[in-house]
């Protein structure tokens, strides 16, 4: 079982979690800007964001994640990292391509999964940004 590390300083703490895990738990868009990010690691703020991760992890795996305290700092270096920016879910009211009937990202995923089933490959699962979404939509409308 993986152990998650608490980054602790004199005033606060953050739980270090890979960003891909937030995506896999479908909570990447629910993390606040009080958390920090560096590379592929998000330092989840202890009062709201870390409990949200722990709850989602527990719901998925049936037990809480294992955690331990990391090195204590007077001022935790993660305070100097970039603030976490949650991805914005894309809705059909925000995107004219999605507003067209039968032309949604869900339709694209269903189409790809039907082809993947024929060829015996796994289903398409992903979390996309608006830029990635527009590229996928452009491919969808061309096909």
pLDDT of residue 121: 72
Distance CA 72, CA 59 (A): 30
Our CA angle for 136, 35, 62, nearest 5°, is 80
pLDDT of residue 91: 57
> Tens digit of pLDDT for each residue in 79-120?
999 999 988 765 555 555 555 665 666 666 777 777 777 777
What share of the chain in percent tops pLDDT 90? 54
Domain ranges of the chain: 3-83, 96-142
Q: Is pLDDT at 52 greater than 90 in this prediction?
A: yes
pLDDT of residue 143: 46
pTM score:
0.63
| Of 81, 82, 88, 140, nearest in space to 115 by CA | 140
What is the rounded average pLDDT of the residues 36-44?
95
């Amino acid at each position: 079982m993986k152990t998650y590390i608490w980054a602790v300083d004199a005033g606060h703490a953050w739980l270090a979690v890979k960003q891909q895990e937030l995506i896999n738990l479908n909570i990447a868009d629910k993390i606040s800007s009080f958390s920090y990010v560096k590379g592929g690691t998000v330092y989840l703020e202890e009062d709201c964001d870390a409990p949200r991760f722990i709850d989602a992890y527990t719901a998925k795996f049936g037990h809480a994640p294992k955690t331990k305290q990391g090195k204590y700092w007077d001022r935790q270096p993660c305070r100097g990292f970039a603030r976490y920016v949650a991805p914005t879910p894309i809705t059909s009211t925000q995107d004219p391509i999605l507003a067209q009937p039968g032309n949604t990202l869900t339709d694209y995923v269903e189409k790809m999964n039907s082809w993947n089933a024929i060829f015996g490959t796994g289903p398409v699962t992903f979390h996309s940004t608006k830029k990635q979404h527009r590229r996928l939509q452009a491919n969808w409308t061309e096909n």
